[in-house]
Amino acid sequence: MKNFKQNLLIVLYILLSCIFAYTHLYAKEYKEYIKVGILSNQKSLTLASDKKYYFVSNNKKYRLSAGKINIKIKDKEAVILSKSYKLPIEFVSEKCFMVNGKIYRGNIIIEDSPKGNNIINKLKMEDYLKGILPKEASASWNQETLKAQAVISRTYALKNMGKHSKEGFDICSKVHCQVYGGASCESKNCNKAVCETDREVVLYNDELAQTFFHSSCGGHTEDPNFVWDWKTETPEYLKGVKDSYCKDNPHQTWTVTIPETEIREKLIKAGYKTGKIQKISTSGTTTAKAAKEIVIKHSKGTLKLNSYKFRCAVSADKIKSTLITNISSKNKNFTFEGKGWGHKVGLCQWGAKAMGDKGFKYKDILEFYYPKTKVGKIKYATK
């Protein structure tokens, strides 16, 4: 009898713990639908569906047959089949739409904004992620790495909802937010990773974490204070970790040579007053051993600027990271040598891949790159 009571108490404790955890994780609700800006400043587009569909304009519904239509957009109106309709216009179908040759799940919206007419894809968050993963990772990578990417991409999207609210949508489809390719780029492996991590997010102090990620850190991830104009104290999970996993990747080392004239022109275009460049060097190091500042001696004086701002001004594709190991000059050209690719903040994708290849589970990968965080499930709002 005594053992029975003890076992009963243990069972009750476990049940209460599960109930508490369930309530805790579902305490907040998030928007299930996301609006993604897929095209900007559009004056026309082609739209097609292989099923009957309809569109809504000025609170009125108009039905269309399956097939392709050409749409002209001008003066806050769209011309559809020779008739004009007021913006915004939302197209709704049971199946996917094809917009300018690309396939998208969900609805398509034509929205007027101060910056021009935008084409927006409105769809469920989980479907949105299926169009993110093949663009932000490789569909051929192991499932644990893809699941880690699915969780951080979901977390990032929810954390940054409304980033483009002034333009009529939540998030753009470019590197500025996350690269999104719609249903055209979906893959079986990536879709599986999204489904197997359904509604899972990274949490820090019971709030959504800011899950930045990049391609390759070069050996140590970076504190965002050295990268962007960070307004608050860096949370513990983003201060950077030593990473021995990403040492074998295509971007571990890089070298690029750029003409002096190109560097000078790019700096001037970015707003920096620069004469003929005579010497470029680094000054100081970050906690991740990257260059803190770039010092440029030129015919009109000396320019000092944040190394990440220098990289973005000149070319983030050519100067792959701020982990610059050497700068030399010859015949009016400057050669940069370095390690890694990207801003180096948060999860290192090539390091995550290596961890997955070694047998680490996706939650282990996330815990390594975002220390003191945990994975939890959110609930989508029903309205």
Q: Answer for the pair 173, 34: CB distance below 8 angstroms, yes or no.
A: no
pTM, whole model, 2 decimals?
0.89
- Of 60, 59, 78, which is closest to residue 69 (Cα–Cα)? 78
In-domain check, residue 134: yes
pLDDT above 90 as % of the chain: 84
- N-terminal to C-terminal alpha carbon distance within the chain: 50
CB 367 within 8 A of CB 268: no
Which amino acid would we find at residue 154? R
pLDDT (average), residues 227-252: 92
Residue 235 belongs to a domain: no
The answer to whether residues 40 and 119 belong to one domain is: yes
Asked if the model's pLDDT at residue 123 lies above 50, the reply is yes
Tell me, letter by letter, the H, E, C secondary structure of the chain.
CHHHHHHHHHHHHHHHHHHHHHHHHCCCEECCEEEEEEECCCCEEEEEECCCEEEEECCEEEEECCEEEEEEEECCEEEECCEEEECCEEEEECCCEEECCEEECCEEEEEEECCEEEEEEEEEHHHHHHCCHHHHCCCCCCHHHHHHHHHHHHHHHHHCCCCCHHHCCCEECCCCCCCCCHHHHCCHHHHHHHHHCCCEEEEECCEECCCCEECECCCECECHHHCCCCCCCCCHHHCCCECCHHHCCCCCCEEEEEEHHHHHHHHHHCCCCCCCEEEEEEEEECCCCCEEEEEEEECCEEEEEEHHHHHHHHCCCCCCCCCEEEEEEECCEEEEEECCECCCECEEHHHHHHHHHCCCCHHHHHHHHCCCCEEEECEECCC
pLDDT at 11: 46
370 located within any domain: yes
pLDDT tens digits, 32-48: 999 999 999 999 999 99
Number of structural domains, the chain?
A: 3
Mean pLDDT of 313-336: 97
Measured between alpha carbons, how far is 157 from 162 in angstroms, rounded to an integer? 9
Co-location of 209 and 351 in the same domain:
yes
> Encoding tokens for residue 33?
């639908």
> Is residue 275 predicted with pLDDT exceeding 50?
yes
pLDDT of 361 strictly over 70: yes
Average pLDDT over residues 257-282: 97
Cα 348–chain centre separation: 13
Q: What is the pLDDT of residues 47-105, one digit of tens each?
A: 999 999 999 999 999 999 999 999 999 889 999 999 999 999 999 998 899 999 999 99
Neighbour tally for 33: CB within 10 Å: 15
For residue 113, the model assigns a pLDDT of 81
Residue 20 pLDDT class (50, 70, 90 cuts): very low
pLDDT above 80 (res 22): no
Q: 226 lies in a domain? A: no
Of the candidates 94, 123, 152, which is a domain's last residue? 123
Residue 5 has pLDDT above 80, yes or no: no
To the nearest whole number, what is the mean pLDDT of the chain? 92
> Do residues 152 and 213 touch, judged by C-beta distance below 8 A?
yes
- Are residue 118 and residue 133 in the same domain, yes or no? no
Q: Are residues 138 and 207 in the same domain?
A: yes
Within a domain: residue 27? no
Same domain, 48 and 117: yes
pLDDT value of residue 248: 87
For residue 229, name the pLDDT band (cuts at 50, 70, 90): confident
Residue 287 one-letter amino acid? T
Boundary (domain end) residue, out of 85, 100, 123: 123
The pLDDT value recorded for residue 75 is 84
Give mean pLDDT, residues 253-280.
97
Query: Does 192 share its domain with 178?
Result: yes
Residue at a domain's end among 123, 155, 170: 123
The radius of gyration of the chain's CA atoms, rounded to the nearest angstrom, is 25
Do 208 and 352 reside in the same domain of the chain? Answer: yes
What percent of the chain is modeled with pLDDT above 70? 93
Q: Return the residue matching tokens 């003929």.
A: 276
Residue 24 falls inside a structural domain: no
Burial 248-281 (b: 16+ CB within 10 A, else e): ebebeebeeebebeebbebbeeeebebeebeebe
Q: Is residue 5 part of a domain?
A: no
What confidence tens digit (pLDDT) does each residue in 171-180 have?
A: 999 999 999 9
Looking at the fold, whether 143 and 201 belong to one and the same domain comes out as yes
Q: Is the pLDDT of residue 26 over 70?
A: no
Does residue 258 share a domain with residue 182? no
Question: What per-residue confidence (pLDDT) applies to 1?
Answer: 53
Residue 262 covered by a domain = yes
276, 332: one domain = yes
CA 42 from chain centre, in angstroms, equals 24
Cβ distance 66 to 49 under 8 Å? Answer: yes
CA distances from 372 to 79, 200, 219, 346, 368 (A): 54, 16, 20, 13, 9
Query: Are residues 196 and 132 part of one domain?
Result: yes
pLDDT digits (tens, 9 = 90+) for 6-19: 555 554 454 444 44
Residue whose pair of structure tokens reads 């919206």 in the numeric block: 109
pLDDT band at residue 382 using 50, 70 and 90 as cut-offs: confident
For residue 89, give its domain range: 34-123
Identify whether residues 205 and 352 lie together within a single domain: yes
Amino acid letter, residue 171: I
User: Looking at residues 317-333, what average pLDDT do you find?
Assistant: 96
